[in-house]
Structure 1
Amino acid sequence: MLQDLFFKLYRFALPALLLLAMAIASAQQNETPEQEEAEEKAPESYEYASPAYRIERSKIKISEPVSREKQQSDDLSHYLKPANVMPLLAGPEDFTTLIKDELTSNSRGVAILLPDWQQGATAANSLNYLRKVLPDQGWTTIAIQPYEKPANYPSIALKPEEQQEANKTSLEQYRQKLSAMMTAVMEKAKSYPGIFLVIAQGSHAALLTDLYQEEKVPLPNALVVLSSYMLTATENETYAKTLAQTELPVLDLSLKRDHPLAIGNAELRQAYANKEMKASYRQRILHNFTAGYYPEESLLREINSWLRYEGW
């Protein structure tokens, strides 16, 4: 019974399938040239849409990345009182300073605060505390928003001679900018009574020492360096010699938990100071819990005690 049913279905289905196949083949053969041309152009129109879309996207203006220095300066202008933010001009470039007047009846002088490069004028690890507390002790504070570190320093050249030459060129260009900046700040500081105290951090302390020794920047009455170092051994040795030979009274502070270069080169600076018999030099290492952050009360106490010892 089932075999008869299957035979009947096969008998009638096979001719139907053959007729369907013949109809499809005939339709493909009878396709008009217009249809063939449309099918051939369809992929081209699809490909044409993609470049047109890319052209539209290319009209979008993408801004260049903003430098760290510009971001920090904009933040200072936005978040702080306008009366405390003062731009100064150093040659063709301007920079931002934060000025806070002393709050006592007896003015002691002006404390100029220079953070390390890549840091802001309100960096929380040391100088921002001094910026806030020194006015209560008779100091007018001028905190500087520094320039960025040279992009090609330290050099990654393969040969040591090429590295030294590239580093020398980069630092010399940066010294010129730093010299113009500090000269402008010292001119501003002269409008206030009292002595001039410069507190510099990191590599800026080393660069400033060179400028003071070469008399390219007006000298302050005293210099405090915080965690100072340079990034190469040759530059650190030159800095230690220059610091020992300068006539400026120097307070050299570093931390127990500090940058490895700051810790390693503190001993080198002390050795050269002893060799040159520099009397107006004091070095102290402060104990801290967080690496790179100065204990606030200890920092202020060390500065005040040293200033009293120096007669200020």
Structure 2
Amino acid sequence: MVFLQLFKKILCCLAFSYSVFLALPATAVEHIAPPALSSIENSDIERLLPNAEIKPILAGDTEFLSLYSEYMSSNFRGVVLLIPDWHSVPTNNSGMSFLRKELNNLGYTTYAMTVPDIDWQAKKMKPVTPTDAVETSTSDESKSDANEPEKQSAEPHYVSAIEPVNNDVLEDYKTNLILRYEALYQTAMAEPSNIVVIAQGASAGMLLEYYADFPESKINAFVSLSSYLPNAQRNEELSQATSLVAPALLDIYYTNDSTDILLSLKNRKRWVNRNAKFDYRQRQLFGMRNAPQQHARLSKEIDGFLRRLF
């Protein structure tokens, strides 16, 4: 009996609390956007690395961080610009962090660049011209005049495969990447020397497109690490662009790279032969790219390639 009375009191309390909750005014929770990935990466870099190695550089209106490390051998051989893959960091364990210090021992001063954020919502809006408006109105009138049998007899429409990343996103990232690269290049040009660029993944693919257009910035060598573009058409065209770049090119890939990279390698060689790019070399590395032995092989291949040039 006592238990029953206690249970009734609990139910009354719950009912009262629920009625009070319903009487409260409904308030929407304010949306707080998450911090940009680049800001998190910059915070980690500033917290974990020595201040002497961190050099902010201004690219247009945007400031980005680069990691500076001076050569530590008796002979100064040049400056190396290290550019990681997109959504990656210059301290990644896929070769960038190792090369940043190991190349110092081989006579190179290194600058490792942080890459821009990816705007997945990037979209280019096509401006509407008077001609477009006339064509649209004419098209609407013709559609209204068309009868139902004609619609049924129309030829079938085939839809192309959806690209993993559309051109608008790639172009937005490429624009910001090249802006940072040119600012880093001007910094490296402060002291005349040999300039080498080592880039990874999609960043390397976009720089290959950039060099194929023969820009004003002159470099002595370019090292591509698993270069590709996450767009089928652009990646197919990258094979031809690879054969058109002016600097000497070392094209390194790994056995466990993606299918898009591995299938394009033979096509790159075909374009290189057609356009007679005699300073192109293609090298394969076995094993995991984050293993210490792999890092040693990577630096050995790069050093051997550069020693043939200067």
Q: Is TM (by shorter chain) over 0.5?
A: yes
**Distance in 2 (alpha carbons) for counterparts of 1:45 and 1:131:** 62
Partner of 1:103: 72
Q: Distance in 1 between matches of 2:23 and 2:99?
A: 59
Distance 1:221 1:43 in 2: 78
The one-letter code of the counterpart of 2:66 is T
Q: Report if the CA contact (8 A) 2:214-2:245 is conserved.
A: no
What code does the residue aligned with 1:47 have? Answer: S
Matching residue of 1:119: 88
Matches within 5 A, 1:48-67: 48-50=20-22, 52=24, 55=27, 58=29, 63-67=32-36
- CA separation of 1:81 and 1:45: change in aligned 2, threshold 3 A: closer
Work out which of the residue numbers 68, 74, 91 in structure 1 matches 2:43: 74
The SS at the match of 1:83 is helix
For structure 2, the 5+ residue unaligned runs are 1-13, 124-157
User: C-alpha distance in 2, partners of 1:186/1:225?
Assistant: 17
- Deviation digits for residues 24-59 of structure 1 (CA, Å, limit 9, x no counterpart): xxxxxxxxxxxxxxxxxx97885344453864x84x
TM-score norm. by structure 1 comes to 0.75
Q: Partner residue of 1:267?
A: 266
Map 1:173-252 to 2 at 5 A. Answer: 173-216=172-215, 218-252=217-251
> Does 2:272 align with 1:303?
no
Q: Percent identity?
A: 27
Equivalent-residue separation in structure 1 for 2:107 and 2:45 (angstroms): 24
- SS of alignment partner, residue 245 of structure 1: coil
| Paired residue secondary structure (2:52) | coil
Against the structure 1 CA distance between its residues 304 and 76, is the aligned structure 2 distance closer, same or farther, given a 3 Å change threshold? same
| 1:12 counterpart residue number | none
Match of 2:155 in 1: none
What is the CA–CA distance in structure 1 between the aligned matches of 2:231 and 2:179, rounded to whole Å? 25
One-letter amino acid matched to 2:160: P
2:211–2:246 CA contact under 8 A, matched in 1: no
> Residue 160 of structure 2 aligns with which residue?
160
Whole-Å separation in 2 of the counterparts to 1:205 and 1:45:
61
| Contact 1:113 1:200 survives alignment (8 Å) | yes
Q: Which residue of 1 aligns with 2:115?
A: 146
Q: Please report the TM-score for the alignment, with normalisation by the length of structure 2.
A: 0.76
Give secondary structure in 2 for the equivalent of 1:99.
Answer: strand
CA contact under 8 A between 1:86 and 1:98: conserved in structure 2? yes
Counterpart residue number, 1:89? 58
Residue 233 of structure 1, CA deviation: 2.5
Deviations 1:184-241 (A, max 9, x none): 0001101234210000110111111111222446131110000111123311221111
Asked whether the equivalents of residues 131 and 143 of structure 1 are also in contact (C-alpha less than 8 Å), the reply is yes
Q: Which amino acid in the other structure matches residue 190 of structure 1?
A: M
* One-letter amino acid of the structure 1 residue matched with residue 43 of structure 2: D
1:153–1:259 Cα change, 3 Å: farther
Distance 2:122 2:238 in 1: 17
Aligned CA distance change for structure 1 residues 136 and 292 (closer, same or farther; 3 Å): closer
Letter in 1 for 2:184: V
Residues of 2 paired with 1:260 and 1:69: CA distance? 29
> Secondary structure in 2 aligned to 1:295?
helix
Distance 1:131 1:78 in 2: 18
Partner of 1:282: 281
**Residue 51 and residue 111 in structure 1: after superposition, are their counterparts in 2 closer, same or farther (change >3 A)?**
farther
Could you give the per-residue CA deviations for residues 94-148 of structure 1, whole angstroms, max 9, x where no partner exists?
2111111111232111110001001111000111110011111111110011113
The residue number in structure 1 matching 2:19 is: 47
The whole-number CA distance in structure 2 between the counterparts of 1:216 and 1:50 is 66
**Matches of residues 18-37 of structure 1 in structure 2 within 5 Å?**
none
Cα shift at 1:244: 0.5
Say if 1:88 and 1:94, in contact at 8 Å, map to a contact too.
yes
The answer to whether the 8 Å contact 1:212/1:219 transfers is no
| Aligned-partner residue type, residue 71 of structure 2 | E
Larger-gyration structure (1/2)? 1
User: Judging changes above 3 Å, is the alpha-carbon distance between structure 1 residues 103 and 140 closer, same or farther for their aligned structure 2 residues?
Assistant: same
**Number of paired residues?**
262
- Residue 160 of structure 1 aligns to a residue in which SS? coil
Q: Distance in 2 between matches of 1:208 and 1:303?
A: 18
Q: 2:69–2:111: 8 Å Cα contact kept in structure 1?
A: yes
Pair 255,302 (structure 1): closer, same or farther in 2 beyond 3 Å: same
Determine if contact 1:103/1:136 at 8 Å carries over to the other structure: yes
